[in-house]
Amino acid sequence: MQAPREQGVAVLMEVSNAMVRLHKEQFGRGPTTARSSFAGPDSLLCVLEDVLLPAELKLVEMGMHERVRDSRTSFQVATAKAFTTAVEEIMERKVRAFASAVDPDANTVFEVFQFERADSALDGRGDLPAGRVVPPGPGGSREE
């Protein structure tokens, strides 16, 4: 893959629009609200609201939240490739992990993408990977 795209508002809007499109294609209806944001340099979170189908809303009214979670999880596993491919194409980065969750009471879906690390020795917290020696500073060097 090429160098990662600039991580700005335009690319986040593009990801949000792709999530809406994919939900419409895969579930027959898309969310009414979609927001995407970065969670550190290598993670992306998409929050989709008003996503449940009318039948799913009836299940929630009946207290059958687990059935909604189970069916959504199964659908997401079956369609994961389409979601990761879309995000990889937009971000120009390889997705190494993808998870989806639903909160039936809030009528909200969370799509979470973890990318392969960017070309940096630091992780998302600013920590060096385990086994790396931190250059000497006021407290001397330390190994993680």
Ranges 26-30, 55-59, 132-136, most confident: 55-59
Over the chain, what is the mean pLDDT? 84
Of 99, 19, 28, 107, nearest to 68 by C-alpha is: 107
> Distance between CA atoms of 81 and 87, rounded to whole angstroms?
10
List, for residues 111-128, the tens digit of each pLDDT value.
Answer: 999 999 876 545 555 554
Asked whether the predicted pLDDT for residue 57 surpasses 80, the reply is yes
Sequence spans of domains, the chain: 9-116
> Distance between CA atoms of 51 and 105, rounded to whole angstroms?
11
Asked whether the predicted pLDDT for residue 102 surpasses 60, the reply is yes
List, for residues 3-46, the tens digit of each pLDDT value.
Answer: 445 567 899 999 999 999 999 998 889 999 999 999 999 999 99
> Distance between CA atoms of 49 and 59, rounded to whole angstroms?
17
Asked whether the predicted pLDDT for residue 92 surpasses 50, the reply is yes
Mean pLDDT, range 50-57, rounded to an integer: 96
Output 118 or 76, whichever has higher pLDDT. Answer: 76
pLDDT at 60: 97
* Predicted model pTM: 0.77
- The 3 state secondary structure assigned to the chain is CCCCCCCCHHHHHHHHHHHHHHHHHHHCCCCCEEEEEECCCCEEEEEEECCCCHHHHHHHHCCCHHHHHHHHHHHHHHHHHHHHHHHHHHHCCCEEEEEEEEECCCCEEEEEEEECCCCCCCCCCCCCCCCCEECCCCCCCEEC
Q: How confident is the model at residue 132 (pLDDT cuts 50, 70, 90)?
A: very low
Pick the CATH number of 9-116 from 3.30.980, 1.10.3470, 3.30.160, 1.10.357: 3.30.980
Of the chain, the end-to-end C-alpha distance in Å amounts to: 30
